[in-house]
Chain A
Amino acid sequence: MDLSLFKDPIFLAQNLVDGLSRGALYGVYAIGFTLIFGVLDILNLAHAATFMWCAFAGYIAMAELGLPLPLGLAAAMLAGAAIALLLELLAFRPLRREGADKLSAMISSIGASLILVSLAEAAFGAQTRRFPNSVLDPKPHFMGGTGGVRISNAQILILAASVVLMVAMGLFIRRTRMGKAIRAVAANQKAARLLGIDVNGVIVVTFLVAGALAGAAGILVALLTNNIVPGMGSQIELRGLAVVILGGMGNIEGAVLGGFILGLVETFTIAYVPGGSDIKDAIAFFILFIILLVKPNGIMGKQKADRA
């Protein structure tokens, strides 16, 4: 075991930066995922495929049409909202109408995910793509001179975006009328309908927001990893689920917090544990397991979107 690594404060700070950025990505992805679960009690397993398509939408907007980053991000979020809406209309609503149970909805989402990924493979082929350098300068900044901690523009953007989105989502859920309506539907769909809330409309808005969040996550991940492929959802999918469970299903702040925890654990395992890169998944999920033993409903408890 190389003890010299533990004494190096720059290395520690670097891992904090890398770990928090990694975690922020998981968090942004997880917010959209947990929102749908919180409101509808369904695990939308097509969230990863939506996320992947948004990365491609961003690629088309920025690499092929030459649009700048803000427009590319907007394009991705719009694409995400559109795909999520399609999912609601085609994969979920018909089942809800028939009174099918939540498990059917999850299976339907798996099917939708397979279709989306196959379509992407057919449309884009298997080679990896990345955004052009003009989108975001990949040259990293070294804080305190060249020996210092390195942070890239992508990482800064990701950290900022995750905080902004978390705050925005929190305000949206707690302070706006639509937010209240979402909480009502999350608490009890039938009661909400009796109170005159347009439940289907609220669900549509939920999906649009979740889809837009998937879009943002897609662009951010693509900026950080430079690896846009049809299979890019598969890795984040499991981690997103883990993060959502860790943070408490349906809890937005929990999702972000869970994301940071997972990101930090993964990074620190690779950095400090000998052979860490091989066992980082085992360690991350082991820690998840321990946390769940202590808090079975996740860190923030089973506070669905209805408990402000």
Chain B
Amino acid sequence: MKRTLLIMAISVAAIGGIQAAPLPATIKVGSAESLTGDNASYGVSIRHGIELGIEETNASGFLGSSKFQLVIYDDKADKQEGISVFNKLINDDKVVTIIGPTLSGTAFACIPVAQKAGVPVIGTSLTAVGITAMGNYVFRDSLPQAAVIPGTLAAVAAKYKPKKAALLFQADQEYSKSEADVYKAALAKAGIELVASESYSKGDADFRTQLSKLAAKKPDIFVFCSLIGEAIPVLQQAREIGITAPILGGNGFNNPNVIKNGKEAAEGLIVGASWFVDSKNPKSRAFVASYTKKYGSSPDQFAVQGYTAVQILATAIKNAGSVDRAAIRDSLTKIKGLDTALGTFSFDENRDPVHPSMPITVKGGKYALFE
């Protein structure tokens, strides 16, 4: 009898032990972001969001006694560097998931590496068409251009009823080109005639000739698809040559530097945002408060997306009860109706994010909802 009891006790303990297999004490999360160069304002912002997210997750004990550890490298907005950094994160640091990279152009080069190695990737700033199509390990919480642009354009069209539009984009940059294509399609669908389209290349700083050509066709609205480095001079030169028609900026303009350095030129700019710093969502307010306290400046859309990526990852790991890369991937696909600072968040069947977006405008030197 005693022997039977002993065997039963040991079995129960063993089964109990297997079921309660704990997560490792340290869970390495990798990240590749543009920390230097023109696009560093996005990368550093994302980094801050991720770090705040990790700090809060660790402090709250969400994953029990396990703690996230961030391993982050600079992808320098360069494809080669992106591939090299991804390899390092996957093989040397053996991270469970990678958050990043910052630019879609870099992503098209380095994400296939992760897909092949079976490492989940969560993009927090990748909006170009085709990102999640790279494979079933690729996720993003940054609303793709195709999701945001039609809504933004509809809002602008309702207010200004434009008939003609002109477009300026960067021809040798994947994000900008992709956004320009999405805009062209959205404009056509909305019945707005694209009367002029001009482009510039990497390193250009004087856009006056292109802008004059656009303005000569007298469009009712202008659409600019630029990264932050060019966004500000484009805006300023546009105002300088006398453009007063409404200006619609792409995702690259979702950066507080546009207001800070663009100053009066940014006034009246309209952008399709996935998030807005004065959003009334309680989780967002809490995030804004903590972020501002920790970093001394208000967060932007990229920071909140980085922060939310950590929350999504933590939730996926907790639900899976494991840090096995394939298990995390499967768990990520099941994220539905999660309450985040971005609003109610879900991944769709293509691993793209589903959450409400909003057009915002610059009014009186601050972002405000566009109405």
Contact = CB atoms under 8 A, between A and B. Distances in A.
Contacts of B206: 18, 22, 224-225
B200 interface: yes
A136 B206 CA distance: 17
A198 B230 CA distance: 47
A128 B210 contact: no
Contacts of A11: 212, 216
Majority secondary structure of chain B interface residues (helix, strand, loop or mixed): helix
Given A22-B206, A150-B242, A225-B205, A126 B36 contact: yes
Contacts of B232: 128, 130, 226-227
Interface stretch (A93-101, A166-174, A184-192, A230-238): A230-238
Interface string B252-280: 00000100110100000000000000000
Nearest to B36: A121
B91 interface: no
Given A127-B261, A231-B37, A15 B209 contact: yes
B242 A277 contact: no
Contacts of B40: 125-127
Given A130-B236, A138-B240, A227-B229, A277 B208 contact: no
A271 B209 contact: yes
B203 A235 contact: yes
Given A126-B38, A127-B257, A128-B261, A232 B205 contact: yes
B261 A278 contact: no
Given A226-B233, A231-B37, A18 B261 contact: no
B38 A277 contact: no
Chain B interface extent, by class = 35 or more
Interface string B234-254: 001100111000000000000
B36 A14 contact: no
B174 interface: no
Contacts of B199: 277-278
A225 B209 CA distance: 13
Given A130-B261, A225-B233, A277 B205 contact: no
A143 to B, nearest CB: 14
Nearest to B209: A270
B41 A127 contact: yes
B164 to A, nearest CB: 15
Interface string A71-109: 000000000000000000000000000000000000000
Chain A interface extent, by class = 35 or more
Contacts of A267: 209
B171 interface: yes
Given A128-B257, A235-B204, A14 B236 contact: no
Contacts of A180: none
Interface in B15-43: 36-41
Contacts of B213: 5, 270-271
Contacts of A235: 203-205
Interface string A210-250: 00000000000100111101011011000000000000000
Interface in A254-295: 267, 270-271, 277-278, 281
Nearest to A130: B261
A229 to B, nearest CB: 6
B209 A18 contact: yes
A281 B261 CA distance: 29
Interface in A131-165: 133, 138-140, 146, 150, 152
Contacts of A229: 38, 229
Nearest to B169: A277
A270 B201 CA distance: 11
B171 A128 contact: no
A277 B171 contact: yes
B339 interface: no
Per CB-CB distance, the 10 closest pairs between chain A and chain B, nearest first, are A235-B203, A126-B40, A225-B205, A270-B209, A227-B233, A277-B199, A278-B171, A227-B205, A226-B233, A226-B236
Interface of A: 5, 11, 14-15, 18, 22, 121, 125-130, 133, 138-140, 146, 150, 152, 221, 224-227, 229, 231-232, 234-235, 267, 270-271, 277-278, 281
Given A5-B213, A126-B40, A130-B233, 17 more contacts: A5-B216, A18-B208, A126-B37, A127-B41, A139-B240, A140-B240, A140-B241, A150-B212, A221-B205, A227-B230, A227-B233, A229-B229, A234-B203, A235-B205, A267-B209, A278-B171, A281-B201
19 contacts: A11-B212, A14-B212, A15-B209, A121-B37, A126-B37, A126-B38, A133-B263, A138-B240, A139-B240, A140-B241, A150-B212, A150-B241, A225-B205, A227-B205, A227-B229, A277-B198, A277-B199, A278-B199, A281-B201
